[in-house]
Structures are given as structure tokens and as C-alpha cells.
Structure 1
């Protein structure tokens, strides 16, 4: 009977881990949509405010994605503890007992998410610099188009 509870408990924890991974994937899709909308609006209206909203959105989604990764890591530690009998298989889903083993900053700077968000931030920065910078007034006739 104890093994049945343990297997059920591990199944519940694995379900949470899967949902956290799915949420992280969905957030990345929303970021790409947000960046596309910010680029389209800023190009149509020639207004850099939309890019600032896009940059702020990228930062917010980065933190949200890091939160989901942090939660996923907590549940992975809980899964390991239940699997190795370090925690009783009482079907408790409280992953806060694992907080000492996982850090939020480690999730923010995780190789799984920072390259994506750094790339999105670089796109916004390059669009801001090259899309709204008036090269002709800076260099005069050198860049004037015929």
C-alpha cells in the first residue's frame, strides 16, 4: 500500500513539473508575439514608446518565466526526496520544504532562459538604435540616399 501512495505522489509531482514546463514554453510564445506587436506599432506610428512597452514586457515575462523555472526546480527536488524516501509519501505537494536547495536568482540566470530573453532584448535595442536614430542628420551627405 505504501508503494501505491508513493507512485501516486510521484505522479502528482510529475504532473506539476510538466505544467511548469508547458507554462514556460507558452510564455516564450507570448514574448515573441509581444515583440512582433511592438515592432509593428512602432514602425507604423514611428513612436519609440511602443518599444519601451515591449522592453518592459520582455523584462516582466523574463521574471515570470524564471518563477516557473524556479517552481519546476523546487518540485524536481521534492520528486527526488519522495523517490529516495527522504520525505514521507503522504501526498503533500508542499515544495516550500525544498527552498534551501534552489535559488530564484539561479533560475533568472539559468542557461535555459537567459539566452532567449537576452536575444529578445538585443532585438529591441537594435531596433531602437537603428530604427529611430537619424543617421542623415549626424553624418550629413555621407549617408544621403539618391
Structure 2
């Protein structure tokens, strides 16, 4: 295999790994922040405003996680494109994923994928149920 091609694939794989790591960290922060705000609200006589605050970062983490997953998919398309290049083709070390946007589902559609929805929706539902419970009493 061409040395330039191998190096280009390594660069792309590095970006894919960072996107996956960022996604993992966001999930951890979403759970930690939500649990922390619940604990703080519990010490403050369960004021619904503290619980409501947990909803905002959870939604932002969901959107940001969707963005990282979308970018990861685009870089996987770029990786596949570079992988399929022939021995005689020029390797330009381009990291431009714009040509693959039309081949991949949109950012919002990625946010609503099963992978992310099954993680963030239960958190949001728990927050909403807790707010409704606190407001009731």
C-alpha cells in the first residue's frame, strides 16, 4: 500500500477516534450533570427550577452528540473513499468531508437516530416526570 495513502488513512482514523471519544464524554457529562442537579435540587426542597435547569444542558448535549456522530459518519465516508483509491491515484491529504454530506443522513436526523434517542430521551422523560411530580406537591 502507498505510504501516503496509509498516512492519510491514519489521519482520518485519528479524527474518527476523537469524534467517538467526544461522544462518549458528552454522554458522561449529561448523566453527571443531570444527577448533580437532581441532588442539588433535593437539598433545596426540590425546587422545580433546579430540575428544569437539567433539561437545558441535556438537550444541548444531545444536539452536540448528534453533531459529533454526524461528523464521524462523514469521516467514515472519507476514509472509505481514500481506502478505495488505486495505487496510481494522487493522495492529497484532504480532510474535506463536504462531498459526502449528500450521501449521509442530516445532522438533525442523526440526532434523532435510535442510538442517541434511546440514550437521551429517557433522561429527558425522567426530568419532565420529576418536574411534574415536584410541581404537583
Do the two structures share a fold, i.e. TM-score over 0.5?
A: yes
1:17-96 matches, within 5 Å, as 17-45=16-44, 46-85=46-85, 88-96=90-98
Higher relative contact order (CA 8 A, sep 6+): 2
Whether 1:118 aligns to 2:117 is no
Of 49-58 and 93-102, more deviation after overlay is shown by 93-102
Q: Return the alpha-carbon distance in structure 1 between the equivalents of residues 9 and 28 of structure 2.
A: 29
Runs of at least 4 residues off by over 3 Å: none
Q: CA RMSD in A?
A: 1.7
- The residue matched to 1:113 in structure 2 has which SS? helix
Q: Return the alpha-carbon distance in structure 2 between the equivalents of residues 112 and 11 of structure 1.
A: 26
The answer for unaligned runs of 5 or more in structure 1 is 135-146
Give the Å deviation of 1:107: 1.0
Aligned residues: 133
- C-alpha change, 1:20 and 1:88, in structure 2 (3 Å) is farther
Q: Are the aligned partners of 1:82 and 1:88 in contact in 2 as well (CA < 8 Å)?
A: no
The answer for unaligned runs of 5 or more in structure 2 is none
